[in-house]
Chain A
């Protein structure tokens, strides 16, 4: 049965359903509901809630719990995610599974507390040091906050990788009907690498340092092979009325909802418009976008973001020069205007190569 639930709380309860019994966090708006929910809920289910002294501490508590082999999560918003980058790099390097969420707000700096998408580069290209990636899931609905969070724990355990839920504060704050799964059961994942005390087995060591000539390169090769495997096995996106679309709007999170509404509206007026919505930003749906670019009916793409234009770079890399890729965005927690999106879309439908 569906119930009315807030995005942030949906994410928190979904983590509990996924078997997460360890949560470490530090308050920051617009994700505070998660921290508060976990403070109340974890003791009810026999779990651990710790309010850390900083995001530097919370991500390293996650490191410890992940090294011990339990399902663990921390959540934050933009400035907090910046502070976590050191720990994220270490988690990736150590092949530790965990779930992170960045409920993005306006930046840079302290910015504001309005929903935003300025952290895409940081999330997708690696905000910390070294050659690493995270799996990045991008929910746009409260239902996806639930489904993607549960999926995130399974992906993390399957690939031994930190999985990031990346969404904007609007999705985090939004209340809409959604449903929790009744009968979720995690698969069995091998955790023989975890630190539990070396009882009846040789010792386990969780490390990210190698001082010999090729130790770190070997770990990098392992990481890159893992990322290649993930890219081959997993990607998520939604296509909305793209089958004969002449202009395809590309977005994720809240702007994707706006784009879908515009698509419907313009379709009603007879315009052939579609929306391509990312549900994962790493892996990025590069092959599907390339396929669409090669379709005769597609004139071009309009990427809409709540940023100065970050995800658009990945769309351009996917589409190459086959079709024009235009961009429209607003920054600092301001929503892209419907009026503008429609104006640029109509321009592109008329055959204009460059709009905006």
Chain B
């Protein structure tokens, strides 16, 4: 009998074991990005930028040229890289503290200039790496280390920032979508969105942005199954899934 290989690690993934916690969304997302890079055949022309956050060592897991950026500065570093290497496919991969707090200015302005880059925004409603503090995307009432009584807008702690919607309001971006990675179906959908985002960059169409709601069971103090349920039932109430902007619906 002939054995047929039907499931394998993407070429773009290294053999290094990830350090991510059980149920963390980064691992799944890393694999999705790797599969997309393989399928588009761009492994030798892609340059990734790792954030400061749990995914800082993403370059250990992806077998591609990669760069670190200072906390929040991914969009500026991506701008420099893409302007210097216009033929490269440049993408940033950032958490919500990195992108939506300390790096919001760089994020908005790179998007507004219409830089030919792709940003993957991992929204886990907390700061994973520093131990579970309040993020700009922390839900109202959500308990974190720095919102011990639950995030309270009446205490000037503000509301979660809907970044995908903010980016979609700008003229220049060509594609903005919010996804999640809680089920087979949603994983496939996220892969489709990221593939489209990369494809748009490859075709020189413009700036693309994919936000992914992603679990952090460790800092949410629930188990991975409950974390997925919390994303589906609570996070999506405030962060609705869907396409917020698409100038090229005909491109898949």
Contact = CB atoms under 8 A, between A and B. Distances in A.
B83 A206 contact: no
B109 interface: yes
Interface stretch (A46-54, A111-119, A344-352): A46-54
B44 A60 contact: no
Given A68-B80, A68-B84, A69-B84, A90 B70 contact: yes
A52 B76 contact: yes
Given A22-B83, A65-B84, A203-B65, A197 B46 contact: yes
A78 B41 CA distance: 46
A56 B46 contact: no
A72 B80 contact: yes
Interface string B128-165: 00000000000000000000000000000000000000
A66 B105 CA distance: 21
B44 A67 contact: no
A195 B69 contact: no
Nearest to A205: B59
A68 B68 contact: no
Interface string A20-52: 001010000000000000000000000010101
A62 B105 CA distance: 17
B43 interface: yes
B104 to A, nearest CB: 11
B65 A48 contact: no
Nearest to B67: A206
B77 interface: yes
B77 A67 contact: yes
B67 A199 contact: no
A53 B85 CA distance: 21
Contacts of B46: 197
Interface in B57-82: 57, 59, 63-70, 73, 76-82
Nearest to A24: B80
B101 to A, nearest CB: 14
A342 interface: no
Contacts of B68: 90, 94, 205-209
Contacts of A205: 59, 65-68
B192 to A, nearest CB: 24
B65 to A, nearest CB: 4
Given A57-B76, A60-B106, A67-B81, A195 B59 contact: no
A19 to B, nearest CB: 13
Given A53-B109, A68-B84, A197-B44, A61 B65 contact: no
B85 A60 contact: no
Interface in A203-240: 203-209, 211
Given A64-B49, A67-B80, 14 more contacts: A53-B105, A57-B73, A63-B80, A67-B81, A86-B70, A195-B88, A196-B47, A196-B85, A196-B88, A197-B47, A197-B88, A203-B64, A203-B65, A206-B66
Interface of B: 43-47, 49, 56-57, 59, 63-70, 73, 76-85, 87-89, 105-106, 109, 113
Interface of A: 22, 24, 48, 50, 52-54, 56-58, 60-70, 72, 86-87, 90, 94, 195-200, 203-209, 211
16 contacts: A22-B83, A53-B109, A56-B105, A56-B106, A60-B69, A63-B73, A64-B69, A64-B77, A64-B80, A64-B81, A64-B84, A197-B44, A197-B89, A203-B65, A206-B68, A207-B68
